[in-house]
C-alpha cells in the first residue's frame, strides 16, 4: 500500500532550519527598530513627524518593488547569487542608516534595506530543496520563525536600544545580515536543480487569474490595512509611553511583553473556532471590527495609561488572529497551481501597507496630532470591515502536493481527472514539467490512501 513519506531528510532539515534562520535574523533586525525609532528621531536635526513616518515605512515600498523581480531573477541565475546579493544590499543600507544622524540619509538607508528583497528567492530555494510531501510543513515552520522574530524584536528593541542605541541596532542589523549570508554560503545546501514551483513562486502568466479574483483581492486589501495600522500605531505609541507617561525607553518592553503574550493567548480560542469549527467568516469579520474598537479606545484613552495598554492588548489580540488567518484564507481560495502567485501579490500588499502606514501615520501626526493617528487607523479598519462583510464563506480546503514523476503533457489532463475523482479532492492540476500534482482537498473527507495509490507515492 502506498504511503506518503513525511519525514524530513537531513538535507531538508538543513534547508528548513538554515533558511528559517536567514529569514528570522533579517526580520529581527528590521522589527527591532519599530518600537524605538520614533523616539530616537526626535533628536535629529530638521526632522518632522512626516519624515519619521517615512523613515519607518520606506523599506516596505522598496521591498514591495523588488521582491517579485528578484524572485524571478533567481529562476534565471540561481537562488544563492540573488540571496547573497540581496543580503549585501540590506547590510549596506543598515550600515548607512547607522552611520548618520541625517534623517534624509537614514531614509535612504532604510530604502536600501528594503531593496535587498530576498523573501521570494528564499521561498523558491525552500521549494527547490524539499519534496512535495514535506514542503507545506517546512513553509509553515519558516512562517513561524517570522512571527517569533516579530515578537522577540518588539520586546528586545527597547532593551538593545538601551545598550547600543538606534545606530547600534542598525549596525547589529548589518552584522545579522552578514551572518545570514554566511549561513547561505556555507550551511544551506545547493539545490540539485532550479525550477519554478507554482506553489511557492509567482508565475507571470497567472497574474490575470489571481488579480481577477475578488476574494483574493479582499485578502490583499486586508493584509495591506493590517500592516498599515501596525506601522502607523508605532509612529506614535513609543512617544506616548515616554513623553506622556514618563516611561523610559528601556522599560517599554514591560508594556510590550505582556501585551504580546496575552494577545497571543487570547486569540487561540478564536483560531480554533474559525478553523476547527468552520466559522472563519464570522471570526474574521469580528476581528476586523475589534480593530476599530481598539483604535478608538487608544484615541479616546491616549492620556490614560491603563486605557492605552488595554487598547494595545485588544489591538494585538485582533492583529495576531488576522495575521494568522489571512494566509490561510489565501491558501483556501487560490487556484491549486497558483498559490505562489497569490501569495506573492499578498506579500507585496503587506509591504505596501507598511510603507503607507508609516508615511501617512507620520503625516497625520504632524497635522492632526497623536489622537488623529488612531482615528485614521479606525477609519482605515472601517473601510476594511466593509470589504470583509461582503466576502464569501471560505472553502475549507487545504493545499496538497503529490509527486507524479515524468509525464507527457497529453497525459496531464487525464491524470488530473482521476485525482479529482478521489473522495475529498476538490480540484486537481497536474504540472508535468515539474512532475507535481497540485490539489485542493477537504482533509476531513480525503481518502489519502486512494490518492497515493494513483501515483505510487
pLDDT along the chain (457 residues), means of 10: 67 91 85 94 91 96 95 93 96 97 96 94 92 87 88 93 96 94 92 85 91 97 98 96 92 95 95 92 97 97 91 97 95 93 96 98 97 97 97 91 82 89 93 88 89 74
Q: Are 170 and 113 in contact (CB under 8 A)?
A: no
Q: Supply angle C-alpha 74, 76, 78, rounded to 5.
A: 50
CB-side neighbour CA atoms (13 Å) of 78: 11
Give the integer Cα–Cα distance in Å for 115 and 103.
Answer: 18
Q: In the chain, helix, strand, coil percent, each to 5? A: 75, 5, 20
What distances in angstroms separate CA 425 from CA 337, 422, 446, 454, one per listed residue?
14, 6, 7, 13
CB 316 within 8 A of CB 260: yes
What is the reported pLDDT for 1?
37
Q: Is the pTM of this model over 0.85?
A: yes
**pLDDT for the residue numbered 112:** 96
- How high is the pLDDT of residue 410? 78
Dihedral sign (CA 349, 141, 197, 415): negative
Cα→Cα distances 440→133, 214, 327, 380, Å: 14, 19, 15, 33
C-alpha cell at 248: 523610559
Dig out the grid coordinates for 84 from the structure: 547573497
Instruction: Give yes or no for a contact between 321 and 218, defined as CB atoms under 8 angstroms apart.
Output: no
CB 210 within 8 A of CB 339: no
pLDDT at 456: 65
Q: What is the pLDDT of residue 5?
A: 64
Q: Which residues pair with 403 in a beta bridge?
A: 436
Query: Max Cα separation, the chain?
Result: 72
Helix (H, G, I), strand (E, B) or coil at 437: strand
Domains and CATH numbers, the chain: 9-201 (1.20.1250.20), 209-395 (1.20.1250.20), 398-455 (3.30.70.100)
399: enclosing H helix or E strand: strand 398-403
Amino acid at each position: 500500500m502506498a504511503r506518503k513519506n513525511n519525514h524530513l531528510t537531513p538535507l531538508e532539515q538543513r534547508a528548513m532550519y538554515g533558511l528559517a534562520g536567514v529569514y528570522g535574523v533579517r526580520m529581527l533586525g528590521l522589527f527591532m527598530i519599530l518600537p524605538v525609532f520614533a523616539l530616537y528621531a526626535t533628536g535629529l536635526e530638521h526632522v518632522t513627524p512626516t519624515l519619521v513616518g517615512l523613515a519607518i515605512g520606506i523599506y516596505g515600498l522598496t521591498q514591495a518593488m523588488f521582491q517579485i523581480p528578484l524572485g524571478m531573477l533567481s529562476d534565471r541565475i540561481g537562488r544563492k547569487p540573488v540571496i547573497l546579493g540581496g543580503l549585501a544590499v540590506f547590510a549596506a543600507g543598515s550600515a548607512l542608516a547607522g552611520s548618520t544622524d541625517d534623517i534624509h540619509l537614514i531614509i535612504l538607508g532604510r530604502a536600501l534595506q528594503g531593496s535587498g528583497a530576498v523573501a521570494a528567492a528564499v521561498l523558491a530555494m525552500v521549494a527547490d530543496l524539499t519534496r512535495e510531501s514535506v514542503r507545506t510543513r517546512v513553509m509553515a515552520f519558516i512562517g513561524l520563525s517570522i512571527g517569533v522574530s516579530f515578537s522577540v524584536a518588539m520586546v528586545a528593541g527597547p532593551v538593545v536600544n538601551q545598550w547600543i542605541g538606534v545606530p547600534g541596532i542598525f549596525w547589529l542589523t548589518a552584522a545579522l545580515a552578514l551572518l545570514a549570508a554566511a549561513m547561505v554560503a556555507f550551511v544551506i545546501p545547493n539545490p540539485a536543480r532550479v525550477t519554478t514551483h507554482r506553489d511557492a513562486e509567482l508565475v507571470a502568466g497567472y497574474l490575470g487569474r489571481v488579480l481577477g479574483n475578488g476574494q483574493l483581492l479582499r485578502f490583499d486589501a486586508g493584509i495591506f490595512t493590517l500592516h498599515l495600522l501596525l506601522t502607523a500605531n508605532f509612529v506614535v505609541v513609543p512617544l506616548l509611553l515616554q513623553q506622556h507617561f514618563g516611561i523610559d525607553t528601556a522599560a517599554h518592553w514591560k508594556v510590550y511583553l505582556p501585551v504580546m503574550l496575552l494577545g497571543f493567548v487570547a486569540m487561540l480560542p478564536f483560531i480554533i473556532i474559525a478553523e476547527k469549527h468552520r466559522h472563519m467568516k464570522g471570526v474574521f469579520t469580528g476581528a476586523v471590527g475589534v480593530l476599530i474598537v481598539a483604535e478608538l479606545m487608544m484615541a479616546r484613552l491616549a492620556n490614560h495609561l491603563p486605557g492605552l495598554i488595554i487598547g494595545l492588548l485588544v489591538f494585538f489580540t485582533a492583529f495576531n488572529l488576522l495575521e494568522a488567518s489571512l494566509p490561510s484564507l489565501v491558501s483556501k481560495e487560490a487556484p491549486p497551481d497558483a498559490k505562489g502567485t497569490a501569495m506573492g501579490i499578498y506579500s507585496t500588499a503587506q509591504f505596501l501597507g507598511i510603507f503607507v502606514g508609516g508615511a501617512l501615520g507620520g503625516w497625520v501626526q504632524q497635522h492632526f496630532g497623536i489622537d488623529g493617528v488612531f482615528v485614521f487607523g479606525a477609519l482605515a479598519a472601517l473601510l476594511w470591515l466593509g470589504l470583509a462583510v461582503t466576502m464569501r464563506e471560505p472553502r475549507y480546503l487545504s493545499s496538497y502536493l503529490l509527486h507524479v514523476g515524468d509525464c507527457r503533457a497529453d497525459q496531464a489532463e487525464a491524470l488530473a481527472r482521476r485525482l479529482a475523482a478521489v473522495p475529498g479532492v476538490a480540484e486537481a492540476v497536474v504540472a508535468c514539467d515539474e512532475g507535481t500534482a497540485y490539489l485542493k482537498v477537504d482533509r476531513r473527507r480525503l481518502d489519502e490512501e486512494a490518492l497515493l495509490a494513483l501515483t505510487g507515492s
